[in-house]
């Protein structure tokens, strides 16, 4: 067997790349709708929904720690709204185990589902989608994997610890195979290969099932069902031009002519209907494009497309140009382009709800343009702040928050702005008000910790940091933060008791989980 330097391989690559190949092993076991019979307790005998969630949380801990995790609230919120639209169309939701959608900053075309209803998208897939229905088609397919209990159906009879061992073994194989495919196969052959391979053999069956359930979901949500087949067909056609043979999405989601034909037949039965993309879809894609490559080159690309009118949506293209200018620290030019963007909004007949807007006054919005306007207002405030126009920036933040009181990007930015201007108490009061509506938000806890640090309250600072770590799944570090908090002298008995109680609770939970293993 070839000897492998796995540590070097891991350092060279993202430590969670293996997830895109082991998707068939890692689908949450919840069920929506009545597309398939409920498999009952037999399928859950080995791995419970709670255990799946724990696995997902631990994987997400690694993902969030990686530099490729796209920690952008606007992109995440857009994916979440799109996903919730599809989930609602499925007829049922599960508030006890909600979906979480997130993005990875990677130009390759891929998407994946994890245990516990976590669903990730490469930024390359988002920009590769030619319309919103294509993106929704991929998302519906991934959601269907989760709702159809594919993990439970494949691993029935496998112990929880045995599953973890299989996943770890396959992860090593795939990490190695990225630099040496033959080496990866060698590791795989010794890592419970027969059991793992028998599970992987179910992949195509599950893919067809996810197509069917996802297709129905797409139709019920009001998207163009042709989006699913058109995306798969284009990926399959493009595979002949890829250096490594095929896009990564096809490697983890094998597409056959039979599958494409089946989706196309279903689409023909429904007839053609034109579905308009949301402006937010185009803004998110423009934002991703603005974040890639050399800033100067990206600016020139946006300018060239605007000059030649080679764009789908002018508002989104100008929005992307401003994002690129901010990234290049060309703040004055960004401010000039901001005025051009608003003139484009005024002249766009499809953006009626954005008309008559003046910087620093609340935008009046309805329907689909609500989130689009929030993205534009957030960008405008950032431009003003970057140019040192602090009063204008604060007026923009405050007026925008009247229209979008709990829009996360605005909330984070406004709190940051207050902290930068040494008004920590105002920032803390604002965040405390927001926390009543934005629950279990890691960044809210981190901002709270910054406020308490600025105000000199070390006990509450470390308590807030502990709460953020708990939600990241890092309980050991959370315990350390609570212990640090208790070392600081504090006269408030209630706050001290609260930290002590929280420390006991986390320690008891960790001890109980250890006993189960």
CA distance 114 to 57: 9
Structure tokens at 76: 């995440």
CA distance 400 to 427: 17
Q: Which of 23, 164, 29 is nearest to 96 (CA)?
A: 29
Q: Apex CA 470: angle with CA 466 and CA 473, to 5°?
A: 140
337: annotated active-site residue: no
SS3 state at 256: coil
> 379 near 323, Cβ under 8 Å?
yes
Q: Which of 52, 51, 160, 178 is nearest to 114 (CA)?
A: 52
CA distance 453 to 424: 9
142: annotated active-site residue: yes
CA distance 159 to 165: 10
> 488 near 456, Cβ under 8 Å?
no
> 143 near 86, Cβ under 8 Å?
yes
The residue annotated as part of the active site, out of 132, 142, 392, 465, is 142
- Provide the pairing of β-strand 100-104 with 118-122: parallel
The residue annotated as part of the active site, out of 209, 211, 277, 392, is 211
Q: How many CA atoms lie within 13 A of 445 on its CB side?
A: 16
Q: Apex CA 311: angle with CA 217 and CA 292, to 5°?
A: 80
> 379 near 359, Cβ under 8 Å?
no
Q: How many CA atoms lie within 13 A of 156 on its CB side?
A: 12
Q: What are the Cα distances from residue 188, in Å, to 64, 168, 182, 244, 443?
A: 27, 11, 10, 21, 39
Q: What is the DSSP letter of 201?
A: T
Q: Which of 488, 423, 487 is nearest to 454 (CA)?
A: 423
User: Angle of helix 279-290 relative to helix 73-89, nearest 10 degrees?
Assistant: 140
Residues in contact with 243: Cβ distance below 8 Å, sequence separation at least 6, in sequence order:
none
Residues carrying an active site annotation: 142, 211
């Amino acid at each position: 067997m070839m000897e492998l330097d796995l540590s070097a391989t891991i350092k060279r690559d993202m430590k969670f790349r293996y997830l895109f190949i082991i998707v068939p092993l890692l689908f949450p076991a919840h069920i929506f709708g009545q597309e398939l019979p409920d498999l009952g307790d037999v399928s859950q005998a080995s791995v419970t929904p709670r255990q799946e969630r724990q696995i997902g949380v631990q994987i997400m801990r690694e993902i969030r720690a990686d530099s490729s995790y796209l920690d952008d609230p606007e992109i995440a919120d857009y994916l979440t709204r799109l996903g919730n639209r599809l989930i609602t169309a499925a007829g049922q939701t599960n508030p006890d185990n909600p979906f979480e959608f997130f993005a990875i900053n990677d130009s390759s075309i891929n998407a994946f589902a994890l245990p516990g209803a976590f669903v990730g998208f490469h930024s390359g897939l988002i920009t590769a989608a030619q319309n919103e229905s294509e993106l929704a088609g991929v998302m519906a397919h991934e959601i269907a994997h989760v709702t159809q209990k594919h993990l439970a159906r494949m691993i029935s009879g496998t112990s929880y610890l045995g599953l973890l061992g299989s996943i770890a073994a396959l992860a090593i194989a795939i990490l190695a195979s990225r630099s040496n495919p033959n080496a990866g196969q060698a590791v795989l052959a010794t890592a419970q290969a027969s059991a793992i391979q028998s599970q992987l053999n179910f992949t195509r069956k599950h893919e067809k099932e996810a197509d069917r359930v996802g297709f129905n979901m797409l139709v019920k949500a009001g998207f163009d069902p042709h989006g699913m087949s058109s995306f798969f067909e284009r990926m399959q056609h493009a595979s002949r031009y890829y250096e490594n043979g095929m896009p990564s999405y096809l490697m983890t989601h094998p597409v056959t002519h039979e599958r494409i034909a089946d989706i196309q037949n279903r689409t023909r039965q429904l007839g053609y209907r034109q579905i308009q993309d949301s402006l937010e879809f185009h803004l998110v894609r423009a934002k991703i494009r603005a974040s890639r490559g050399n800033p100067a080159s990206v600016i020139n690309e946006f300018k060239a497309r605007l000059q030649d009118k080679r764009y789908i949506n002018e508002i989104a293209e100008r929005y992307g140009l401003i994002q690129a200018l901010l990234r290049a620290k060309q703040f004055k030019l960004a401010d000039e382009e901001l005025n051009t963007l608003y003139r484009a909004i005024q002249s766009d007949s499809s953006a009626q709800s954005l008309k008559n807007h003046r910087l620093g006054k609340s935008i009046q919005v309805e329907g689909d343009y609500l989130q689009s306007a929030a993205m534009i207002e957030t960008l405008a405030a950032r431009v003003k702040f970057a140019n040192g126009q602090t009063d204008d920036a604060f007026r923009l933040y405050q007026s925008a928050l009247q229209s979008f009181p709990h829009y996360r990007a605005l909330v984070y930015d406004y709190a940051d702005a207050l902290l930068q201007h040494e008004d920590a108490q105002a920032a803390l009061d604002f965040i405390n008000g927001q926390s009543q509506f934005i629950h279990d938000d890691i960044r809210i806890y981190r901002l709270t910790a910054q406020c308490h640090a600025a105000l000199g309250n070390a006990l509450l600072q470390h308590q807030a940091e502990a709460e953020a770590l708990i939600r990241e799944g890092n309980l050991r570090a959370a315990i350390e933060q609570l212990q640090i908090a208790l070392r600081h002298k504090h006269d408030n008995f209630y706050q001290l008791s609260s930290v002590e109680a929280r420390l006991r609770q986390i320690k008891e939970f960790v001890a109980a989980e250890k006993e189960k293993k």
